[in-house]
Amino acid sequence: MTTPTLPHLRRYAISRSLFAPTTLSRAIAKLGFVQADPIRAPARAQDLTLRHRVKDYRAGDLEARYPRLAIEEDFFVNYGFLPRATQALMHPRTERTAWPRARWAQARAVLEFVQERGVAHPREVDAAFQHGTSRNWFGGNSKASTQLLDGMHYRGLLRVARREGGIRLYAPQLAHERDAPADPDAALDALIDVTVAKYAPLPAATLSRFVMWLGMAAAPQWRDRRRVALARAKARLPQATVDSVRWFWPEGENPGSRRFASDTLLDDEVRLLAPFDPIVWDRDRFEHFWGWAYRFEAYTPAPKRVRGYYALPMLWRGQVIGWANAAVRDGRLDVQPGYVSGRVPRDPAFTRALQEEVARLDTFLGA
């Protein structure tokens, strides 16, 4: 195998992630997992990720078509959407913090309630049981029924049937999803392979973090197996040390092959990527590839923001040359770009490409 260089790895990351647009179900299968985020600026992260990879995709298509697809909402390394077969590898899930007997009694009562209805809205559960309020992760108060439903979903008692206005509606978990995988080590290896396939090439530090997170969120019942699973992954996955970093990628692939040796695959399209797009998700890899630091600043106080509330990294000709903040105002899309160099590229091809990307974004949003 030809030892890859950093340009090889950079082109490899782009080319394998930005595959030719396909159907929604095939795109999710190829990605393995699509991270979700509730912020719309100008659309949710899952929609911004899928628009580059699904033919004729429009904002909201995933939510609208979700009930007809063989996918689930669930926790993986983050919360998002993944194929049902992958989700089954993580269940039945045993939470690190055990529920007390009273909490389980509430859960069983709610489960019977949902089973009777088939699908239940959180407000129906709250009206029926009046659980009151409780402190949430952010220090505020939220309905206790909502937190109970979240916990039941996480434990595999319920699944998300669909959404209405962004609100999750719950149904009983599919019966075949409750069976434990026959071989936990094989299941962990398969889950690791999903993350590697999506985010390749992975620096060694990122691979280690992913395996630790899998044992914290995706499959805490196997947290004691994480270190051995990581050692197995480092032994079996293809790898190379490039620019003083150890990199890993899926079996059967070669970032140093001729396929990734030139810029011919990197077209003239400008692409505005979601903050959680697999090409930019790993901030350390991002900085290693493109020489500047990108940070997600939605939760940064406004006076301290450098690039904007929801800056979308701008990819052009194999380089992330800047970012753009996009918003719909009075029914019209407003895009404000910024550049790492501090100036707009003088190439007329870039000007045309940026205009075309803004037009595509406008169509996607239906603005």
181 neighbors 187 (Cβ within 8 angstroms)? yes
Q: Name the residue among 162, 202, 237, 196 with its Cα closest to residue 33.
A: 196
Residue-by-residue DSSP string for 296-343: --TTS-GGG-SS-TT-EEEEETTEEEEEEEEEEETTEEEEEEEETTSS
SS3 26: helix
Domain architecture of the chain: domains with CATH: 101-178 (1.10.10.10), 265-365 (no CATH)
Torsion angle, alpha carbons of 184, 66, 312, 283, to 10: 0
Pairwise CA distance, residues 105 & 64, whole Å: 34
Count CB-CB contacts under 10 A for residue 216.
14
d(CA 151, CA 131): 14
CA 25 – CA 32 distance, rounded (Å): 10
Q: What is the pLDDT along the chain (367 residues), one digit of tens a residue?
A: 678 999 999 999 999 999 999 999 999 999 999 999 999 999 999 999 999 999 999 999 999 999 999 999 999 999 999 999 999 999 988 877 789 999 999 999 999 999 999 999 999 999 998 865 555 443 444 578 889 999 999 999 999 999 998 899 999 998 655 566 779 999 999 999 999 999 999 999 999 999 999 988 899 999 999 999 999 999 999 999 999 999 999 999 999 887 776 554 567 899 999 999 999 999 999 999 999 999 999 999 999 999 999 999 999 999 999 999 999 998 899 999 999 999 999 999 999 999 999 999 999 999 6
pTM over 0.85: yes
